Chains A and B, each alone.
Chain A
Amino acid sequence: MTATRALLEVRGLTKRYLGVTAVDDVAFEVEAGAVVGLIGPNGSGKSTIVDCLSGFQPADEGRWLLDGHELTGRPGHLIARAGLTRTFQTVRAYDELTLLDNLRVAAQESDGVGWLQALGRGARLRAAEAASAARGRDLLATVGLAEYAAAPAAILSYGQRKLLAIAAAMMARPKLVVLDEPVAGVNPTMIRRVEQVIHQLNAEGVTLVIVEHNVDFIMSLCRRVIVLVAGRKIADGPPSLIRSDPRVLAAYLGPARAAELGHGHP
């Protein structure tokens, strides 16, 4: 183990709905520069964890820190400004804004230009907007949508909207990005595109947590995978270990089938 402090620390995260514990005492850390996968069957609490960490749902218990700063219980917009951004499972975009404006909006709360400066349209605002337009164009090129920069987001296909959402989550130079099912419902060609984009962004130093249903996608993309079952973390390690972990096999295949393969519970 390295002595460096983890970028994201989650401790004892718990969320209950009317007596059902959706997330049960989950703890994990994410090292800076990592790409960590978070998988689990339906209803295992993956998306609830994303919603809690990003401030979209209040957690009942637990703490989480980004780069040593407490994020517990803060509202979503402050968590985003602190450097933890996210995408949504149900893909979201500003349909009536152009692709470039979709991205520029995503950066404007973190460039330090206040309301009066925004209205005054002085040099500082122009510099900040020029920088965000340049970054927006770069990111559109990264996700392969540069030619539609001036088109409204309404024209995009489902897969293209997922790519736009990833680009938007990168705009404000976050420390950590959580992608909620980036390839769910996306065709195989576009899945490879998303994979390339994630590799490229990670190479540029972005830390990612990827929540997915598509196990193959996660296993090939991440060097570390966390498995959730019924709100509890049951495994955490490299894909090779996860694949042969009896608890994971039992959760995905059922105990009987796992036992047939020789990995069953006693």
Chain B
Amino acid sequence: MTPGWLRALLVLLGIAALFAVPRLTGNEYVLALGVSFATFSVLSGGLNLVYGYTGLLSFAQVGFFGIGGYTAALLVTEGGWPLWAGAASGGMLAALVGLVIGYSSLRLSRHAFAIVSLSFAFLCMIVARDWVSLTRGAMGIPGLPVPVLDLPGLPWRLSRPADFYYLLMGFAVIAQAVIYVVVTSRLGRAMQAVKLNEALAQSQGIDPLRYKLLALALSALLAGIVGGFFVFYLTIVDPSIFDFYYTETMLIMVIIWGPGSFWGVLGASAVLAALPDLLRFTTDLRMVLYGAVLIAAMLVFPGGVGGWLRRRHLRRWRRPSLAAP
């Protein structure tokens, strides 16, 4: 195991390197990859909290992402709110919605939750398309203005691609730090207990519903905020923000290395955020390819590649002396 200070140093160097990128290159393509990585890392990190740690298969994350996007867009354009307040409100609304769908379905079963979360994601898209007076329907809200973040002392106009790179990367670092603190605390340990054996956890005084709702609400909050920032980067929000593409990408990021592994999911997010562009020649086939990889991963590595390595590691403990009693 690497010592703690070395790990902290590596993390700080990594963050410094990420923030140095826009100074080293003005290449918009590279910056776009960075924005994509930052955004997806927050989405997959939240899904990892819900699925990888707490064991709830959730298709609702894209709904939280889009709710954050629409809320921020409407509050900024119609209400004249500053971007940070719009995104924060989007995150809080998403968390509230997450609590409502979680509370109503989780008391039944995990399977009920999976189905409800899937229905919820589709419902979001339908509402975005058909509640025209609020969302402006299928056309969405194009031409979102250049936002201004009122930092103390200097207003920051996010007019260049590098500005959004800094904004989203900065938020991603904060979000990952929050997720890291939770999963390495004993709350994360209790979430794992709920995933691994819910009845046992309950017999030990753990209230499974509380931990499930905590994971869900926190992931919704982060997804909603990042959605609020992301739509201003796109300069448009329309019903495609609820596209299944986001769900599939998040799922593959969480599943491929190992659900319940903080660094594994972060690494997979980095690789897979770059991958679509490496696979540019197969734009039409990309989702098919993702689906195939997802199925193959489930069949060959049910616990992800990391889970497979962990199981190999178990053999170290299985010495002959243990087999006796």
Residues of A participating in the B interface, judged by any CB pair closer than 8 Å = 54, 56, 75-78, 80-81, 85-88, 92-97, 101, 104-110, 115, 118-119, 121, 125, 129, 148, 151-152, 154-157, 159-160, 168-169, 171-172, 187, 189-190, 193
Contacts and interface: CB of A to CB of B under 8 A. Distances in A.
B133 interface: no
Given A75-B207, A97-B193, A157-B325, 6 more contacts: A54-B203, A105-B189, A106-B205, A109-B204, A155-B317, A168-B204
Contacts of B181: 119
B196 A157 contact: no
A189 B324 CA distance: 11
Contacts of B187: 115, 118-119
Which range holds the interface residue count of chain B? Answer: 20 to 34
A144 to B, nearest CB: 9
B199 A190 contact: no
A92 B323 contact: no
A143 to B, nearest CB: 12
B204 A94 contact: no
B192 A97 contact: yes
B177 to A, nearest CB: 12
Contacts of A107: 204
Interface of B is mostly: helix
A77 B205 contact: yes
B207 A77 contact: yes
A241 B318 CA distance: 47
17 contacts: A56-B202, A56-B203, A76-B203, A77-B205, A77-B207, A85-B203, A88-B203, A93-B197, A93-B200, A104-B189, A109-B206, A115-B214, A118-B185, A119-B185, A155-B322, A156-B322, A172-B204
A154 B314 contact: yes
A81 B205 contact: yes
B85 interface: no
Interface of B: 181-182, 185-187, 189-190, 192-193, 196-197, 199-208, 214, 260, 310, 314, 317-318, 322-323, 325
Of the listed residues B203, B318, B322, B325, the one surrounded by the most CB atoms of chain A closer than 10 A to its CB is B203
Q: Find the residue from B181, B200, B205, B314 having the highest chain A CB count within 10 A.
A: B205
A154 B312 CA distance: 12
A148 B322 CA distance: 10
Nearest to B303: A96
Nearest to B318: A155
A168 B325 CA distance: 20
A217 B310 CA distance: 39
B325 A86 contact: no
Contact of B325 (A92, A101, A160): A160
A132 B171 CA distance: 36
B206 A105 contact: yes
Contacts of A106: 204-205
A80 B204 contact: yes
Contacts of B196: 94-97
Given A118-B185, A121-B185, A189-B325, A152 B204 contact: no
Contacts of B190: 105, 108-109
Contacts of B310: 96
B308 to A, nearest CB: 13
User: Which among B214, B322, B325 has the highest number of chain A CB atoms within 10 Å?
Assistant: B325
A157 B323 contact: yes
Contact of A56 (B185, B186, B199, B322): B199
A207 B199 CA distance: 22
A222 to B, nearest CB: 22
A159 B324 CA distance: 11
Contacts of B325: 157, 159-160, 187, 189-190, 193
A152 B203 contact: no
A85 B192 contact: no
A77 B260 CA distance: 24
Contacts of B186: 104-105, 108, 118, 125, 129
Contacts of A151: 317
B314 A109 contact: no
Nearest to A129: B186
Nearest to A56: B199
A96 B196 CA distance: 8
Contacts of A56: 199, 202-203
